[in-house]
Structure 1
Amino acid sequence: MRRQNNLPRPKNFKPYTAPSGGWGSARSVANILRREGNPASGALTLTRQNKVDGFQCVSCAWIKPAKPLPFEFCENGVKATAWEITSRRCTPAFFAEHTVTELLDWDDYHLEQEGRLTHPMRYDAATDKYVPVSWGDAVADIGRQLHDIEDRENVVFYSSGRSSNEASYMYGLFARLYGNNNLPDSSNMCHETTSVALPESIGVPVGTVTLDDFATTECILSFGQNAGSNSPRILHPLQEASRRGVPIITYNPLRERGLESFTNPQSVTEMVAHEATPISSSYNQVRTGGDLAALTGICKALLELDHKAIQDHRPSLLDRDFIASHTHGFDRLSAWLRKQDWQAIERISGLPRAALTATAVTYAHSNSTIAIYGMGLTQHRAGVETVQMLVNLLLLRGNIGKQGAGICPVRGHSNVQGQRTVGITEKPELVPLDRLAQQYGFEPPRTKGLDTVEACEEILKGKIRAFIMLGGNFARAVPDRPRMEKAWRDMPLTVNIATKLNRSQLLPGATSYILPVLGRIEIDKTECGPQALSMEDTSGCIHGSRGVRLPASRHLISEVRLVGEIAKATLDPNPKVSWDDWIADYSLVRRAIAETYPDTFSDYEDRMWEPGGFQRPLPARHRGWHTKNGKANLMTPTSKSLGEDRDLPSNGEDVFHLMTLRSNDQFNTTVYGYTDRFRGIHGTRDIVFMNTVDIERLSLSSGDRIELQTVSRDGIERRHGGLSIIPYDIPVGCIGAYYPEANVLLPMGHYAIGSKTPAAKSIPVTIRRDMIS
């Protein structure tokens, strides 16, 4: 897809050898601020980013420190801020000039580059255009249609991870007052695996690590997390750890610059001297989908080293006191590990036994270890077992519940974790429904709602009557995009609450609205004065956030107000639910949250402005295990294949394992540009990364155009063509292509067992020359 009136973009590949950060980052920051039309005011706005009395970054959820740096933002954080405060405006005049059919031929970048949405719009099928509508008429019509739907199980309330705690709490309550728990969110697509794996293992659904732990740790293990592109601020504590001599052992299929070396852009000395700090002391390029095998090998090697130590009358390498007092399942796990075959481990992981044993040796000599991971672990068929094996490794040496140690899942969206904390979940057991019933005088629905995959399945069946989207670009982000886009337009009502134009809005149902709202960086003023919001970072700390910019349009309203207005228009009056009071004074929403979750949000109003925020209760951090048996559980995998998908259909062709990737110029479905600097890609996203061995074996060459075809069990044909081959340092048999474009290859049923997180990091595909392109 291309914007028709745009000049062709130059396309080239030039390997990037400089460190992450440094002058490349500085130039990128300057370029994005200049391109979005706010170089001076944007720079001033950034001085308030991630500050105690400023606004929390709208990009990733990395930890907001109590003592922030002068410039407490990263390259991607600047891109997200510049994207939101852009001087560009997408007005009714733009929609009057373009039909929806025409706009569908535009690419993601150019759609969003039209700027901030300024007016509420309604789709007009007769002209195939969006036309202006008043807020009153839009809200009244949405409320009437929702109210008149008889089977309320067929309405979905989706939310992205950027909405505040306040808006999210109201949204979740609205859905339950309406009559269902259909509250899928972006976590379903990325870290739902974490939310399933960790509670079974350690009794909490989030990580146990704080910034203080990074300052004292003796070893860091990193799995499936590209810090340089996805959460660059984490590079600061990694750099400090590296300089202290802390081994940082990385497992990742591609060699990523952010995991290799880093120059701190905030250090004049480093910038002038072109000084770079090595990040990974050991870099292990695990095969795509081979992480469970690799972790099994490390755990098996640790047990073998421990056995040898005991034979030699040396101290055990395991924390046996901790295992005896705090864990369950050690004997079963150790017996399972002993049975695993080293040849299978090496074949599936793509790594030699010596490398896995070397990791075990380093780990065995560390008194405190942090394990970091991202979607490289969660988005696999065996994702749940893989995360639990990483936790097993930590538990074997007592590395949860002590200083300098713990598990650290790195979340993506800036408040996806906070949304879950205040009730955005399809799982009723995770919400205090009895307390809500007493607080608001109604009987909450008790049946499980639809998660993201289940919502998609119901859309494909034609059952969903209305889809409300609180942020995000759902139809672009999900698997099986061609099938989903066709089915999306069959829904009677779609409501897009957004700040920018995106592809989901161009797939209107019978009735479709685009409702523009204030961004987090903008001043949100009600009749009670300027309002503040709150969010939760990846360490479980909750912070206040104040907007600092004037709104992009006088016609914008806040998410809090919009949720409240639609709820009022939809639901029968309830004297115990003070929608109008909440719309006027967000502190009253926080008071309600504290009443629903008293153990987490006591003294909410004051504590959210504490430097570093306040941490939600994390019993596992203090060795309190809120599991069914009251212990930390060493989980033994039940699958027999170490995560390998053995029963795929085969026609004799080579099957490659495709992992979808985000570029350096991207945040989820938002594309800031066509430069993936760290991987050396310029001017295109239509590429596939391949190992030179595979290229030569298939008699292909660099730059050749190929087509990928999914190998699946459901008989549905899925193709993605016009991709140029880029030789790259990626394991043999593995390839990479950009998300969300490659989602056309991801079957709806290809997801993590136990969590239904789409398994986008290991899609089985075959390769053919693209004769058409």
Structure 2
Amino acid sequence: MSNVPKITTYTAPAGGWGSVKSLMRQARQSKQPISILPGLAKINKPDGFACVSCAWAKPAKPHPAEFCENGAKATFWELTADRATPALFARHTLTEMRGWDDFKLESTGRLTHPMRYDAATDRYVETTWEAAYAAIGAEMKAIQADDPKRTVFYASGRASLETSYMYALLARLYGNNNLPDSSNMCHESTSVGLLESIGQPVGTVRLDDFEAADAMFFFGQNPGSNSPRMLHQLQEAVQRGARIVTFNPLKERGLERFVNPQDPVQMLTQNATQISCQYHQVKAGGDIAVIVGMAKALLEADDADLKRGGKGVLDRAFLAEHTTGAEDFIAYVQTQDWLALERESGLSRTAITEAGGVYMSAKSVMGIYGMGLTQHKLGVQTVQVLVNLLLLRGNFGRPGAGICPVRGHSNVQGQRTVGISEKPELVPLDKLKALYGFEPPREEGLATVDACKGIIEGTVDAFIGLGGNFLRAVPEQGMMEEAWPRMRLTVQIATKLNRGHLFNGRVAYLLPCLGRTEVDQQASGPQTVTMEDSTSCFHGSKGFHAPAAETLQSEVRIVAELAKASLAPNPRVPWDRWVDDYATVRDAIEATYPELFKDFNKRMHTPGGMEKPLPVRDLIWKTESGKAEFKLPKSLSASFAGDGPDVLRLMTLRSNDQFNTTVYGYDDRFRGVDGTRMVLFLNKKEMARIGARAGEMIALETVAGDDVVRRIDGLQIVPYDIPDGCCGAYYPECNVLIPLWQHAERSKVPAAKSVPVRIVR
């Protein structure tokens, strides 16, 4: 792999031979492609394993290869032949490894032995599982005796439903609801916004809705890199006549054109399918203005049709029967000025009206979005305004219509379903009390930004991490890395080494676990685990590969052993039985959530997934009013503002060669960047305005209005088609620029998609 930065222009479509070549490179890098290849056929199949990458839905009739480029990369990455053994840590101090980048750290391979941090030598040293559990348990008990609320139980979005249920129970038996997770950093704006507007915190769309939709509107989502299997549904929809309109600050190749790697004719001819019929490059944070503009165009067309003697274009019967607050929203939209809508969105009235025309001409419309909507100051309200638009024409409760938030981590939605939440009102605490004979804590726990604040301020003494790369994913990285060693206890459960493992509390352990691709052998035999996808369907998952080391333990067992070591005995919580047979954990999940998990063990391998009930699909609105509720935005701009003509809005981005904080390499082929991640995308007009040149090395500083200096150096300017006043750079490198307090109102999601910054030379 080249370490020399190379900037080019990539003109090929998503998919195609570019995807195949990328997979071949990753297979070679794993050093055991022959043993891995048979496993690829099992990805996302009813008798196989759920992809360890994104959470996109699994069809009832899967393709022969039901995996995408990123899913295969994630599989290769987990099944690498490289091993991070105790010998690695004997050769390198943690201070030395802090100088390594994310790719090099994870390239050391799979962790093999439980490790204890030795501050005297600044190294991890090998320990036994028994010693680790005893020491961790003793520390947790001591902290609990002082104040159980001083311990945080973090979960990334990859842990299974079984592990997540046990982990949430562990936290509550311990005495708190401090269960921050990766949803706090991405789609919590969805959970808050949808619950208030339509009465359920998740989307309303199933996979078969893509076969019935007349139009789809994308906002702030990039399926080409983040959920490539979704391109199959989009291609098929376009081929049958559905229209796709996209609003994204950047031109994302997967929403422009796609060559299906499983279509021999397309692969031979390279005759790509055009995905979007309209592509509008909205300004970062300008989505509220766009959506309100589309609603304004809709109301203007409605008024004109009524004057002609028509019935109008609004679904008045639906609005009267199923909604409340429509009149207020309509009045709000009618008062908005087109000049303001154009200014805040960065789009012309003509462009917005043309998009509105597609919406009006379609009977069944889906609104699809990602973190481009949720990671703003007004992320919750942006989601709710999109709901408003869909409600105006009754786009709920019929095939092909509804709202579709696209989740990232493969089980981030599922772990919330089974109790990983800092909000006690979302968890059946009385049911837990009845089942396990204890009084669950009722006080709201710490979300991610609250946990970070507590660590910085010294009110958090212990951090237990179930997967993930917390320190690399969160805002305010400089303060967090400085404060982290002041904690009394840190425990990390992981498959691979990452930067978050190089900073430790006074007592610290790194516990290696099995990956989802590996056979999980317990007393009752090989185990199955379960996940929930973005469309609220549950899937069974069975590993196929031999474990990376005989010393590894499963996440289920690690959680159970931590619970036994740190909690008083409770005969009603069968930790050992749950470890022996995960089916008994699923029985416990069903007993706790009987409406959601009826006949769980019998139905978990249903082709296409076991469907979780979604009341809105039946036009049942579990809101305070019993109807869908229109919500008014407080501003047309969703962003934090920065003062000065030199202030830009920074969007943090993922490359084609990464998934979340996992970096597979340095090739972002869709954006023409190879050999580096230290780039700043800026359009030529802005470059001319500030006198910048292509290839110039600059720094970025946050314009936050406080006394903290947040800066990243060594970024190379790359000319790129990006809206005026905006710039883009890679995540997680640029998380150092995000102030902890710049988060979405009420959901507390870090506002990573429009950070006010200025260029420093």
* Coarse TM-score class (shorter-chain normalised): over 0.9
Q: Does 1:342 align with 2:334?
A: no
Output the amino acid matched with 1:296.
V
Structure 1 equivalent of residue 30 of structure 2: 36
Q: CA deviation at 1:643?
A: 2.6
Cα deviation for residue 362 of structure 1 reads 1.1
Query: For the residues of structure 1 that align with 2:147 and 2:611, how far apart are their CA atoms?
Result: 40
Q: Does residue 200 of structure 1 match 2:200?
A: no
Which residue of structure 2 lines up, in the alignment, with residue 643 of structure 1?
638
**1:283-294 alignment runs, 5 A limit:** 283-294=279-290
Query: Conserved in 2, the CA contact under 8 Å of 1:653 and 1:766?
Result: no
The aligned residue for residue 729 of structure 1 is 721
State the Cα deviation string for residues 237-277 of structure 1 (Å, max 9, x = none). 10011112211000000011111000000111110111100
Partner of 1:129: 123
Q: Which runs of 5+ in 2 are unaligned?
A: none
**Among candidates 451, 455, 473, match of residue 455 of structure 1:** 451
Report the alpha carbon displacement of residue 8 of structure 1 after superposing the two structures with TM: 7.1
Find the counterpart in structure 2 of residue 3 from structure 1.
Answer: none
Instruction: Point out where structure 1 has 5 or more consecutive residues left out of the alignment.
Output: 1-6
Matched, 1:593 2:593: no
CA shift, 1:112, in A, is 0.1
Q: 2:701 aligned to 704, 709, 712, which one?
A: 709
Distance, in Å, in 2 between the alignment partners of 1:229 and 1:534 is 25
CA positional deviation for 1:457 = 0.4
Equivalent residue in structure 2 for 1:109, among 103, 123, 137:
103
Paired position in structure 2 for 1:751: 743
SS of equivalent to 2:538: strand
SS of the aligned residue for 2:595 comes to helix
Mapping of 1:335-734 within 5 angstroms? 335-637=331-633, 639-646=634-641, 648=642, 650=643, 652-734=644-726
Shift of 1:503: 0.6
**Aligned twin of 2:9:** 15
Q: Which residue of 1 aligns with 2:307?
A: 311
Greater displacement, 754-763 / 714-723: 714-723
CA change 1:16–1:173 in 2 (3 A) is same
Q: Distance in 1 between matches of 2:613 and 2:484?
A: 40
Deviates more, 1:424-433 or 1:609-618: 609-618
Partner of 2:231: 235
Q: Does 1:139 align with 2:120?
A: no
| TM-score under structure 1 length normalisation | 0.97
Indicate if the aligned counterparts of 2:376 and 2:639 stay in contact, CA closer than 8 A: no
What whole-Å deviation, never above 9, does each CA across 1:507-562 have from its counterpart, x for those lacking one? 01101111000000100011111110000000000010001011000000000000
Q: Deviations over 1:131-154 (max 9, x none)?
A: 000000000110111011111101
- For 1:745 and 1:542, the matched residues in 2 are separated by 37
1:81 aligns with 2:75: yes
CA contact (8 A) 1:299 1:337 kept: yes
Partners of 2:200 and 2:615 within 8 A in 1 = yes
- Report sequence identity in percent: 58
> Which position in structure 2 is the counterpart of 1:169?
165
SS in 2 for 1:386: helix
Shift of 1:653: 4.5
- Per-residue deviation at 1:713? 2.4
Q: In 2, Cα distance between the equivalents of 1:743 and 1:560?
A: 31
The 8 Å contact of residues 639 and 754 in structure 2, kept in 1 or not, is answered as no
Question: CA RMSD for the aligned pairs?
Answer: 0.9
Give the paired residue count.
759
2:732 maps to 1:740: yes
Q: Secondary structure at the match of 2:229?
A: helix
Partner amino acid, structure 1, of 2:276: S
Deviation at 1:312, TM superposition (A): 1.1
Question: Which residue is 2:327 aligned to?
Answer: 331
Letter of the 2:40 partner, please give it.
Answer: L
Query: In structure 1, the residue corresponding to 2:211 is in which secondary structure?
Result: helix
Deviations 1:372-393 (A, max 9, x none): 1000000011111111111111
Give 1:315 shift: 2.2
Which amino acid in structure 2 is aligned with residue 444 of structure 1?
P
Residues 649, 755 of structure 2: 8 Å contact kept: yes
What is the CA–CA distance in structure 1 between the aligned matches of 2:445 and 2:617, rounded to whole Å? 30
Aligned to 1:4: none
| AA at the equivalent of 1:203 | G
| Mapped partners of 1:129, 1:579: distance in 2 | 32
Give me the whole-angstrom Cα distance separating, in 2, the residues matched to 1:606 and 1:645: 49
Q: Does 1:56 align with 2:50?
A: yes
CA distance in 1, matches of 2:364, 2:746: 30
Q: Give the distance between the partners of 1:464 and 1:562, measured in 2 at CA.
A: 22
For residues 416-436 of structure 1, what are the alpha-carbon distances to aligned partners after superposition, in whole Å with 9 as ceiling and x for unaligned? 011000000000000000010
Cα deviation code 1:719-754 (max 9, x no counterpart)? 111111100000011000000000111000001112
Residue identity opposite 1:66 in structure 2 = A
Counterpart of 1:436, as a letter, is: L
Distance 2:400 2:660 in 1: 31
Q: Which amino acid aligns with 1:192?
A: E
d(CA) in 1 for partners of 2:148, 2:2: 48
Aligned-residue offset at 1:621: 1.1
Q: Report the equivalent of 1:760.
A: 752
One-letter amino acid of the counterpart of residue 498, structure 2: N
* 1:598-632 deviations in Å (ceiling 9; x for gaps): 00111000110111111111100111101111001
1:135-181: CA deviation from partner (whole Å, max 9, x where unpaired): 00000110111011111101000000000000000000000000000
User: In 1, Cα distance between the equivalents of 2:649 and 2:713?
Assistant: 16
SS state at 2:125 partner: strand
Find the residue that maps to 1:359 and give its secondary structure: helix
Match of 1:70 among 49, 56, 64: 64
Alpha carbons 1:62, 1:233 under 8 Å: kept:
yes
Partners of 1:280 and 1:159 lie apart in 2 by 36
Partner SS, residue 724 of structure 1: strand
| Mapped partners of 2:732, 2:637: distance in 1 | 28
Contact persistence 1:348–1:644 (CA under 8 A): no
CA–CA distance in structure 1, aligned partners of residues 218 and 526 of structure 2: 41
C-alpha distance in 2, partners of 1:521/1:609? Answer: 17
CA contact (8 A) 2:155 2:182 kept: yes
Cα distance in 2 between the residues matched to 1:375 and 1:626: 25
Aligned partner of 1:251 among 237, 247, 250 = 247
